[in-house]
């Protein structure tokens, strides 16, 4: 929705005149006035960004980072294992899955970090519940409704002036963002913010959103949010749409979604946390080909995204983190698939992440009573480190205070 | 609409607008005919009539696929071959997906057509209160049974409802009660029973939870008594989903902890019935429920007088729900300016009330479900055990933008823009060649001329549900049987009167008149509706 010059002038005039309005003055107006490069979101200490990438369904960590130097791996997976000669070797023990050459290059260029053995005590093997545990950042014994980022927004970003503090790419908002005052925009596609009908339509929408002198606080809230809609609409249709990217992205959803995120970051949309999801990892049967395809998509997409941000000059302020609700059972099942497991690996790139291995790999000779890996790093300590070392927040106010940040993953 | 009707309402406490407010809050929107009928009664008579109708109406016929008794066809035996299992597993999941889609259609159609919408509003309340998600429960029949039980007790007795919910199949799966046995009582259900279902935080201790979990141990889901089951051994390593025979709760004595427990300071060899009694008799229960109901129906009463009175009625009637609602709907506080026209419509209320108020000729389709899910309320899939928090949490810039596209569905029966992701869906699994030149050729073949850049709409993979994504017919004639008014003011006023619960703001009315004036013929109605439905005002009830 392109806005006419006259209505923009009108808009700014109203913005200047009405104090009630200026409380919710769209950030892009402020930014276009100040014309700052990488301006931090008003009310936040810096211009840093977190991009969370969910691998939904439970990614098979053992076939992602393959322990090819361990006989136990081949014993447990007579059909599903990646042959030693196919593994893209990192060291004498492990290497990437054969289709992950793009991420291997990222690794070789010192742009990737791997956190091994990540999980939590008393693991839950339900997708639903384990996803909830990861999204809320709670222990498995507790039901918490708010998400770990939602609590971060509530406790640390109360002064941030932007309706797009969080951006969820996808059809529904992840529980990660749930909080008392969520300021999250969920969109699958920026077309959501296109309103057909030309300037007459824009004008009438603007008219019914002029804040009214009313004691009805709900109406005032809706009018403010309606103005956010109009400002996000302008932002997406102008700056983001025209923003060039520098890398090829695969034509598929996940990749194209990451491309949109790269454009939003480069266009300096005032957003602190993005959330993108790659679904389909739940391979109980005939896993080999489908998992290889997903790993290729993950590898190529992340690599394009990271290198694009680097070229665009935004990688230093963007931390990318992947997670999945659980790994898979060590032993393959009867259907050439794997069942729900426990500990897993996380990827990190960009920002101040330290390239290389972190944490301790889970021991294949010491499995739990179901045949699953024991975790060596609590995912909440990774969260605590992200909160403290990347977002400059106090993790004790957001996560269980007994959880200490994982050392060494972020510089 | 004449301003004096508002004043009239404030003075006498009862008027057409007050009747409209009552109808809109207790049902899904209002219609002018009903409004007139209620307006001639007294407030108390009107409320009593709504409550009686909702309590006495017969329950709707279940969807066709519902089976009584239900036996788990996905049961897996030790001698089930991998191939047999794979085929059956896929087929069952497909069937569950179709059935849950049909269950949503069935329920929303009930909301749209029911002559007693209050009962469906209350069923929706309990659906969010005793939240369970198909995402974990997986079995469509269990979700239907939970819904039917919530409808049966919707305006009945809370004690009976709470007991029925505790041993409801879907709930037992959702909050793990079926896994709770005496050596390792699972506290998940007991905790939520106190915190979310009956008392609220701070009215119990961790010891109460632990003891209640012991008292509730031993319940399992099984086939109904007398069902013939195949005598084949199950594999003990398989998860519950594949080993449970049915979804009827049964107390397995060997798994139940029959010992002495102390809950809320009282001691005994408690089981299910005693836990329910102790919970409902807890002094916090009535007020907890009263506050949740008052908030759901949009009462604004900072003194808490109405909620206190509701709690007293709860206590004196032994947990009856209808008398609590009577207190709420007849209270002066329910009709003050502070309580009116400021409840944000939930996505389901937004959709159903729009269908009812515009008399749309429509049925609930997968497209509408997708729309409601994107607005944050997919039925049978609440975000978590707390249900939908409601209020301002319904609204963000993204969901409000989507609400403003409502007329795409209503007037054109088409999908709002931006609901599908960027890029293409992957079809069958293919691994792309590593060599860049080979890959480019491969992709070109695969994509066949797909353009790069913005607005690249992916053709969606075939969905499990057949039929059109949207099926909506809007007929202006139904709203204007005597013909569409020529005057822009009349047209705008009549549509505003039909759609808003309160007199319109001057700005909205003026803009609506301009929209009518700017257009000609039938487009006038559409233009005014497009404006009203994408106004902040229309989000309120």
| Rounded CA Rg of chain A | 23
Over residues B343-369, the mean pLDDT reads 97
| 3-state secondary structure at position B465 | coil
CB contact under 8 A, B86 and A194: no
Q: Which residue has the tokens 């709900």?
A: A218
Nearest to A367 by CA among A146, A117, A143, A37: A117
Q: How many CA atoms lie within 13 A of B474 on its CB side?
A: 22
The neighbour count for residue B250, using CB atoms within 10 Å, is 17
My answer on whether B363 and B222 are in the same domain is no
SS3 content of chain A, % helix, strand, coil (to 5): 40, 15, 45
C-alpha–C-alpha distance, residues B119 and B107, integer Å: 12
CA-based torsion, B503, B508, B514, B518: positive or negative: negative
Given a contact cutoff of 8 angstroms between Cβ atoms, the answer to whether A308 and A102 are in contact is no
Residue B392 with chain A: CB contacts under 8 Å: 218, 221
Residue A207 with chain B: CB contacts under 8 Å: 507, 511
Q: What is the pLDDT along chain A (411 residues), one digit of tens a residue?
A: 333 434 433 433 343 333 333 333 344 433 333 334 567 888 999 999 999 999 999 999 999 999 999 999 999 999 999 999 999 999 999 999 999 999 999 999 999 999 999 999 999 988 888 999 999 999 988 888 899 999 999 999 999 988 899 999 988 889 999 998 888 998 989 999 988 887 888 889 999 999 877 779 999 999 999 998 988 988 888 889 889 999 999 999 999 999 999 999 999 999 999 999 999 898 887 889 999 999 999 999 999 999 999 999 999 999 999 999 999 999 998 778 898 899 999 999 999 999 999 999 999 999 998 899 999 999 999 999 999 999 999 999 999 999 999 999 998
**Domain A5-397 annotated CATH 3.60.21:** no
Give every CB contact of residue B477 below 8 A, 6+ residues apart in sequence: none
* Within-domain flag for B53: no
Residue A212 with chain B: CB contacts under 8 Å: 505, 507
Q: How many CB pairs below 8 Å do chains A and B form together?
A: 207
A234-247: burial string, b at 16+ Cβ within 10 Å, e else: bbbbebbeebebeb
Of A132, A184, A208, the CB nearest to B507: A208
My answer on whether B496 and B360 are in the same domain is yes
The single-letter DSSP state of residue B205 is: -
Using CA coordinates, name the residue in chain B closest to A176. Answer: B383
| 3-state secondary structure at position B251 | strand
Strand ranges (DSSP E) for B252-357? Answer: 261-263, 266-268
Distance from CA of A321 to the nearest CA of B (A): 21
Give me the number of domains chain B comprises.
2
Of A169, A184, A207, the CB nearest to B511: A207
My answer on whether B259 and B386 are in the same domain is no
Q: How far is CA B361 from the centre of its chain?
A: 22
CA-based torsion, B109, B112, B115, B118: positive or negative: positive
Distance from CA of A244 to the nearest CA of B (A): 10
User: Which residue out of A137, A253, A269, A299 would a mutagenesis test of the B interface target, given it has the greatest number of B Cβ atoms within 10 Å?
Assistant: A253
Residue B302 near chain A (CB below 8 Å) = no
Of B453 and B205, the structure prediction assigns the larger pLDDT to B205
Give every CB contact of residue B352 below 8 A, 6+ residues apart in sequence: B28, B29, B108, B111, B112
My answer on whether B186 and B101 are in the same domain is yes
pLDDT-based confidence at residue B465 (cuts at 50, 70, 90): low
Residue B344 near chain A (CB below 8 Å) = yes
CA-based torsion, A73, A75, A77, A79: positive or negative: positive
Give CA separation, B384 vs A46, A174, B127, B135, in Å. Answer: 33, 11, 12, 10
My answer on whether B272 and B360 are in the same domain is no
C-alpha–C-alpha distance, residues B391 and B205, integer Å: 30
My answer on whether B187 and B263 are in the same domain is yes
Given a contact cutoff of 8 angstroms between Cβ atoms, the answer to whether B102 and B135 are in contact is no
The neighbour count for residue B462, using CB atoms within 10 Å, is 7
The per-residue DSSP string of A161-199 comes to --TTSEEEESSS--GGG-SSS--EEEESSGGGG---SHH
Distance from CA of A38 to the nearest CA of B (A): 23
| 3-state secondary structure at position B338 | helix
The neighbour count for residue B272, using CB atoms within 10 Å, is 17
* Within-domain flag for B499: yes
Please state, for a pLDDT cut of 70, what percent of chain B lies above it. Answer: 94
Given a contact cutoff of 8 angstroms between Cβ atoms, the answer to whether A261 and B432 are in contact is no
B287 pLDDT higher than 60: yes
Domain span including residue B143:
82-227+240-280
My answer on whether B380 and B484 are in the same domain is yes
Domain ranges of chain A: 5-397
CA-based torsion, A267, A273, A277, A281: positive or negative: positive
Q: How many CA atoms lie within 13 A of B444 on its CB side?
A: 6
Question: A65-66 and A95-96: which strand pairing?
Answer: antiparallel
Task: Give the pLDDT score at B81.
Answer: 83
CB contact under 8 A, B418 and A143: no
B28 pLDDT higher than 60: yes
Give every CB contact of residue B286 below 8 A, 6+ residues apart in sequence: B310, B311, B312, B313, B314, B315, B319
CA angle, corner A129, sides to B400 and A66, nearest 5?
Answer: 110
The neighbour count for residue B317, using CB atoms within 10 Å, is 15
Task: Give the pLDDT score at A234.
Answer: 85
Given a contact cutoff of 8 angstroms between Cβ atoms, the answer to whether B400 and A221 are in contact is no
Over residues B327-334, the mean pLDDT reads 97
Residue B370 near chain A (CB below 8 Å) = yes
Using CA coordinates, name the residue in chain A closest to B85. Answer: A335
As a dihedral over the C-alpha atoms of residue B361, residue B365, residue B371, residue B372, rounded to 10 degrees, the angle is: 90
- The contacts found for B487-490 with CB under 8 angstroms, 24 or more apart, are B488/B513, B488/B514, B488/B516, B488/B517, B488/B524, B489/B513
Nearest to B384 by CA among B158, B172, B174, B167: B174
CB contact under 8 A, B421 and A217: no
Using CA coordinates, name the residue in chain B closest to A336. Answer: B82
As a dihedral over the C-alpha atoms of residue B174, residue B179, residue B180, residue B186, rounded to 10 degrees, the angle is: -60
User: HEC string of A84-135?
Assistant: HHHCEECCCCCEECCCCHHHHHHHHCCCCEEEEEEECCCCCCCHHHHHHHHH
**In this structure, what are the phi and psi dihedrals at residue A377, rounded to the nearest 5 degrees?**
-130, 130
Nearest to A54 by CA among A259, A280, A271: A280
CB contact under 8 A, A204 and B397: no
Given a contact cutoff of 8 angstroms between Cβ atoms, the answer to whether B120 and B30 are in contact is no
**In this structure, what are the phi and psi dihedrals at residue A252, rounded to the nearest 5 degrees?**
-85, 165
Given a contact cutoff of 8 angstroms between Cβ atoms, the answer to whether B305 and B333 are in contact is yes
CA-based torsion, A334, A63, A174, A176: positive or negative: positive
Task: Give the pLDDT score at B423.
Answer: 87
CA angle, corner B210, sides to B204 and B213, nearest 5?
Answer: 105
Distance from CA of A170 to the nearest CA of B (A): 7
Task: Give the pLDDT score at A40.
Answer: 82
CA-based torsion, B446, B447, B452, B453: positive or negative: negative
The single-letter DSSP state of residue B361 is: E
Distance from CA of A208 to the nearest CA of B (A): 6
Nearest to B163 by CA among B100, B103, B327, B152: B152
Of B327 and B301, the structure prediction assigns the larger pLDDT to B327
CB contact under 8 A, B418 and A192: yes
Give CA separation, B401 vs A193, B248, B370, B435, B444, in Å. Answer: 6, 44, 15, 43, 35
* Within-domain flag for B526: yes
Strand partners, A278: A55
Given a contact cutoff of 8 angstroms between Cβ atoms, the answer to whether A80 and A288 are in contact is yes
A109-132: burial string, b at 16+ Cβ within 10 Å, e else: eebbbbbbbbbbeebbbbbbbbbb
CB contact under 8 A, B400 and A222: yes
C-alpha–C-alpha distance, residues A10 and B170, integer Å: 55
Residue B393 near chain A (CB below 8 Å) = yes
**In this structure, what are the phi and psi dihedrals at residue A118, rounded to the nearest 5 degrees?**
-90, 130
Residue B519 with chain A: CB contacts under 8 Å: none
């Amino acid at each position: 929705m392109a806005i006419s010059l006259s209505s923009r002038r009108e808009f700014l005039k109203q913005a200047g005149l009405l104090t009630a309005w200026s409380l919710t003055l769209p950030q892009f107006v402020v930014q276009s006035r100040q014309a700052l490069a990488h301006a931090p979101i008003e009310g936040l200490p810096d211009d840093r960004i977190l991009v969370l990438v969910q691998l939904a369904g439970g990614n098979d960590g053992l076939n992602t980072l393959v322990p090819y130097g361990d006989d136990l791996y081949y014993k447990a997976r007579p059909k599903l294992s990646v042959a030693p000669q196919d593994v893209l070797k990192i060291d004498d023990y492990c290497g990437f899955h054969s289709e992950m050459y793009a991420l291997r290059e990222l690794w070789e260029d010192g742009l990737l970090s791997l956190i091994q053995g990540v999980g939590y005590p008393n693991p839950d093997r339900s997708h639903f519940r384990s996803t909830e545990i990861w999204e809320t950042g709670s222990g498995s014994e507790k039901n918490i409704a708010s998400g770990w980022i939602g609590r971060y927004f509530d406790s640390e970003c109360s002064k941030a002036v932007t309706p797009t503090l969080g951006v969820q790419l996808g059809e529904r908002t992840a529980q990660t963002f749930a909080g008392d005052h969520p300021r999250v925009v969920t969109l699958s596609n920026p077309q959501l913010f296109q309103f057909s009908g030309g300037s007459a339509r824009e004008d009438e929408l603007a008219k019914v959103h002029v804040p009214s002198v009313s004691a009805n606080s709900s109406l005032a809230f809706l009018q403010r949010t309606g103005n956010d809609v109009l400002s996000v609409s302008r932002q997406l249709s102008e700056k983001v749409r025209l923003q060039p990217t520098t890398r090829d992205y695969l034509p598929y959803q996940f990749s194209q979604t990451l491309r949109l995120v790269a454009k939003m970051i480069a266009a300096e949309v005032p957003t602190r946390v993005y959330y993108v999801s790659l679904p389909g990892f739940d391979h109980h049967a005939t896993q080999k080909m489908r998992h290889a395809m997903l790993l290729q998509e993950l590898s190529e997409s992340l690599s394009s995204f990271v290198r694009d941000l680097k070229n665009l000059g935004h990688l230093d302020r963007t931390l990318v983190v992947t997670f999945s609700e659980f790994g898979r059972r060590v032993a393959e099942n009867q259907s050439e698939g794997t069942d729900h497991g426990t500990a897993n690996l996380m990827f990190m790139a960009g920002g101040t992440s330290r390239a290389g291995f972190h944490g301790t790999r889970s021991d294949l000779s010491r499995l739990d009573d179901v045949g699953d890996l024991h975790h060596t790093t609590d995912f909440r300590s990774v969260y605590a480190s992200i909160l403290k070392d990347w977002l400059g927040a106090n993790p004790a106010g957001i996560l269980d205070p007994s959880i200490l940040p994982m050392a060494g993953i972020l510089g | 609409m004449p301003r004096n009707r508002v004043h009239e309402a404030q003075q006498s406490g009862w008027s057409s607008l007050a009747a409209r407010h009552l109808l809109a809050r207790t049902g899904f929107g209002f219609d002018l005919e009903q409004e007139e009928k209620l307006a001639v009664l007294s407030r108390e008579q009107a409320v009593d009539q709504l409550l009686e109708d909702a309590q006495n109406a017969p329950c709707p016929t279940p969807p066709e696929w519902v089976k009584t008794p239900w036996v788990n066809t996905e049961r897996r035996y030790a001698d089930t071959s991998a191939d047999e299992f794979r085929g059956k597993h896929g087929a069952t999941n497909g069937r569950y997906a179709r059935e849950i889609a049909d269950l949503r259609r069935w329920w929303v159609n009930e909301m749209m057509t029911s002559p007693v919408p209050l009962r469906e509003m209350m069923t929706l309340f309990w659906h969010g209160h005793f939240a369970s998600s198909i995402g974990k429960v997986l079995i469509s029949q269990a979700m239907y049974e939970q819904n039917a039980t919530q409808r049966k007790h919707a305006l009945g007795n809370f004690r009976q409802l709470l007991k029925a919910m505790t041993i409801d199949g879907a709930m037992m799966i959702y909050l793990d009660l079926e896994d709770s046995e005496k050596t390792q009582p699972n506290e998940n259900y007991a905790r939520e029973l106190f915190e979310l279902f009956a008392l609220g935080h701070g009215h119990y201790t961790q010891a109460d939870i632990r003891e209640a979990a012991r008292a509730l141990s031993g319940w399992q889901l099984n086939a109904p008594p007398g069902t013939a089951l195949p005598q084949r051994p199950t594999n003990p390593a398989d998860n519950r989903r594949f080993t449970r025979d049915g979804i009827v709760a049964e107390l397995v004595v060997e798994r139940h902890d029959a010992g002495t427990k102390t809950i809320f300071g009282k001691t005994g060899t408690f089981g299910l019935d005693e836990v329910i009694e102790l919970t409902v008799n807890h002094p916090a229960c009535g007020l907890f429920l009263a506050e949740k109901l008052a908030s759901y129906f949009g009462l604004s009463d900072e003194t808490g007088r109405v909620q206190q009175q509701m709690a007293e009625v709860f206590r004196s009637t032994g947990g009856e729900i209808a008398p609590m609602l009577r207190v709420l709907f007849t209270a002066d506080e329910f009709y003050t300016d502070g309580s009116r026209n400021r409840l944000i419509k939930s996505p389901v209320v937004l959709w159903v009330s729009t269908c009812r108020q515009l008399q749309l000729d429509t049925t609930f389709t997968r497209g509408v479900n997708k729309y409601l899910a994107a607005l944050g309320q997919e039925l049978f899939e609440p975000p978590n055990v707390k249900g939908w928090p409601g209020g301002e949490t319904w609204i963000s810039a993204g969901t409000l933008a989507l609400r403003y596209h409502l007329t795409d569905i209503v007037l054109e029966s088409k999908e709002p823009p931006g609901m599908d992701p960027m890029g293409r869906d992957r079809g069958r699994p293919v691994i792309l060649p590593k060599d860049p030149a080979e890959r480019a050729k491969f992709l070109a073949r695969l994509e066949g001329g797909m353009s790069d850049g913005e607005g690249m709409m992916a053709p969606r993979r075939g969905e499990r549900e057949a039929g059109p994504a949207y099926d909506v017919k809007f007929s202006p004639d139904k709203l204007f049987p005597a013909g569409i008014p020529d005057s822009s003011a009349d047209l705008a006023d009549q549509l505003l009167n039909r759609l808003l619960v309160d007199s319109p703001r001057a700005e909205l009315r003026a803009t609506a008149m301009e929209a009518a004036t700017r257009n000609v013929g039938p487009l006038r109605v559409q233009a005014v509706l497009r404006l009203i439905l994408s106004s902040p005002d229309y989000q309120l009830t």
